[in-house]
């Protein structure tokens, strides 16, 4: 297990390179913690804090593409938040087609963050080379095999998992790497099937939380939602029921996800779930009757390229009461109840 010193952790933002930011902040599990609290539990009080979230930049291998500027704007947005978030989680889809040039561009832009970053992959980062370049750039050496991680911060146990693992649909079909990526890039890839975290990460999760007391505050990060929102667009994680079962013994779990490129909220059992706006484009709402239909973005303005996008931040209170704030690029995007912050 990787040893990361407090100095390394706190010093990363001055190092400049995104690789060292990510590697340096990729604090693994409680036993190797960085002096910030050890095993999280409500009995060891939560120290209130804020973290920021960015997701779904979908950077293209094109010079000065407008999505580059959107990600830069989002980085500036979270850097300017007061108080400054303790850390930032990036929730997947840095690139569009998994190309090294796209991921490198993302790395450069994200290196301007003034807080440490943790990251999980999205399908657009992954299916050109099965995540090889993404792992090399964004994960420390000790994490090259398993993309799941956990990190304790101020009394909260934060978990990140790779939720976009798909059973092999490409070998039998004789697809090249580029063709495989091309298929997964589609919103509706009928031949790709449903994705999830799969058996290895489920085992990892069981072990990771086995040591925690039931009153431990848990926050999970996955690229896709941990509930069946709209499986046709992979707005789902195929083993989310197992994940919820593993975490069902905890008093409260907050699940935060990317991929849907929209404001969305749900609550299943002890788990609250919130989706994130992207910095690339907004997906339309799928034809699903949501339990909480009032927690949505307003209809996007097709004449405004930045409408329907932005960054997010979550403030965590001493009782593990969370508030999700959406920082839309276009201020009039959000209905008043969403703009005020959603309790999660
Ligand atoms: Fe995306
Ligand atoms: Fe995605």
- With cut-offs at 50, 70 and 90, classify the pLDDT of residue 9: very low
CA of 7 to the centre of ligand 2 (A): 34
Structural domains of the chain, ranges and CATH numbers in brackets:
6-343 (3.60.21.10)
Confidence of residue 3 (pLDDT cuts 50, 70, 90): very low
pLDDT of residue 36: 29
Q: How confident is the model at residue 25 (pLDDT cuts 50, 70, 90)?
A: very low
Distance 313 CA to ligand 2 centre (A): 20
Q: What are phi and psi of 132, to 5 degrees?
A: -60, -50
| 56, pLDDT greater than 80 | yes
Side-chain half-sphere of 162: how many Cα atoms within 13 Å? 25
Looking at residue 27, its pLDDT comes to 35
CA of 317 to the centre of ligand 2 (A): 30
The token duo for 295 is 């927690």
Distance between Cα 96 and ligand 2 center (Å): 9
Average pLDDT over residues 36-46: 54
Distance 259 CA to ligand 2 centre (A): 4
CA angle at 57 for the pair 53 and 59, rounded to the nearest 5°: 150
- The number of the ligand nearest the C-alpha atom of 224 reads 2
Residue 268, pLDDT above cutoff 80:
yes
Q: Which of the residue ranges 23-37, 72-86, 273-287, 300-314 would you say has the lowest mean pLDDT? A: 23-37
Instruction: Tell me how far the alpha carbon of residue 32 lies from the centroid of ligand 1, in angstroms.
Output: 32
pLDDT given for residue 294 in this prediction: 85
Task: Supply the pLDDT for residue 190.
Answer: 79
Question: Is pLDDT above 90 for 217?
Answer: yes
Ligand in nearest proximity to the CA of 223? 2
The tokens for 327 are 């920082």
**What does each C-alpha distance from 46 to 30, 40, 153, 275 come to in angstroms?**
15, 8, 9, 24
Residues whose Cβ atom is located within 5 A of ion ligand 2: 93, 122-123, 259
Q: What is the pLDDT of residues 72-109, one digit of tens each?
A: 999 999 999 999 999 999 999 999 999 999 999 999 99
Nearest ligand, measured from the Cα of 235: 2
Buried b / exposed e over 85-112, threshold 16 CB at 10 Å, is: bbbbbbbbbbbbbbbbebbbbbbebbbe
Rounded distance from Cα 233 to ligand 2 centre (Å): 9
How far away, in angstroms, is 40 Cα from ligand 1 center? 31
How confident is the model over 53-67, as a mean pLDDT? 97
Whole-number Å distance, alpha carbon 58 to ligand 1 midpoint, is 6
Ligand 1 centroid from CA 239, angstroms: 20
Ligand closest to 280 (CA) is 1
Ligand nearest to the CA of 163: 2
- How far is ligand 1, taken at its centre, from the CA of residue 261, in Å? 6
Q: Is the pLDDT of residue 22 over 60?
A: no
pLDDT at 30: 31
Query: 41 alpha carbon to ligand 2 midpoint, in Å?
Result: 32
Q: What are the residues facing 48 on neighbouring strands?
A: none
> 164 alpha carbon to ligand 1 midpoint, in Å?
11
Residues of the chain above pLDDT 90, percent: 76
Q: How far is the CA of 184 from the centre of ligand 1 (A)?
A: 11
293 pLDDT more than 70: yes
Q: Which ligand is nearest to the CA of 96?
A: 1
Ligand nearest, relative to CA of residue 281? 1
The DSSP-derived string for 68-134 is HHHHHHHHHHHHT-SSPPSEEEE-S--BSS--HHHHHHHHHHHTT-SS-EEE---HHHHTTTTTHHH
253-257 β-sheet, strand order: 149-153, 156-160, 218-222, 253-257, 271-275, 264-268
Cα of 285 from ligand 1 centre, angstroms: 14
Query: Across all residues in the chain, what is the average pLDDT?
Result: 87
Residue 192 scores a pLDDT above 70: yes
pLDDT value of position 96: 98
Write down the pLDDT at residue 144: 67
Rounded to the nearest whole angstrom, what is the distance from the C-alpha of residue 41 to the centroid of ligand 1?
33
| Ligand 1 centroid, distance to 309 Cα (angstroms) | 12
Mean pLDDT within 303-322: 94
Q: How far away, in angstroms, is 55 Cα from ligand 1 center?
A: 7
């Amino acid at each position: 297990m990787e040893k990361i010193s407090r100095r390394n952790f706190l010093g990363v933002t001055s190092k400049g390179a995104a690789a060292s930011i990510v590697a340096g902040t990729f604090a693994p599990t409680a036993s190797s913690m960085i002096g910030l609290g050890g095993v999280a539990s409500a009995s060891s009080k939560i120290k209130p804090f804020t973290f920021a979230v960015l997701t779904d930049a979908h950077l293209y291998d094109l010079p000065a593409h407008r999505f580059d500027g959107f990600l830069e704007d989002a980085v500036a947005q979270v850097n300017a938040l007061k108080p400054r978030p303790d850390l930032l989680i990036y929730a997947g889809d840095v690139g569009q087609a998994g190309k090294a040039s796209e991921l490198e561009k993302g790395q450069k832009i994200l290196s301007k963050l003034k807080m440490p970053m943790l990251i999980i992959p999205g399908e657009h980062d992954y299916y050109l080379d099965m995540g090889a370049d993404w792992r090399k750039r964004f994960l420390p050496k000790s994490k090259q095999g398993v993309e799941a991680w956990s990190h304790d911060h101020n009394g909260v146990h934060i978990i990140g998992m790779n939720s976009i693992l798909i059973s092999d649909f490409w070998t039998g079909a004789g697809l090249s790497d580029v063709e495989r990526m091309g298929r997964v890039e589609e919103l509706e890839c009928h031949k790709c099937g449903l994705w999830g975290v799969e058996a290895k990460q489920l085992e990892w999760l069981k072990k990771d939380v086995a040591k925690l007391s039931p009153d431990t505050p848990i926050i999970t990060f996955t690229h896709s939602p941990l509930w069946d929102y709209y499986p046709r667009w992979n707005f789902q994680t195929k083993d989310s029921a197992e994940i919820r079962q593993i975490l069902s013994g905890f008093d409260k779990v907050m699940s935060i996800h990317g991929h849907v490129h929209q404001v969305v909220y749900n609550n299943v059992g002890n788990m609250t779930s919130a989706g994130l706006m992207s910095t690339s484009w907004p997906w339309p709402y799928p034809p699903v009757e949501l339990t909480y239909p009032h927690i949505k973005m307003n209809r996007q303005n097709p004449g405004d390229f930045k409408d329907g996008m932005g960054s997010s931040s979550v403030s965590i209170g001493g009782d593990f009461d969370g508030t999700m704030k959406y920082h839309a690029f276009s201020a009039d995007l959000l209905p008043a109840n969403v703009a005020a912050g959603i309790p999660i």
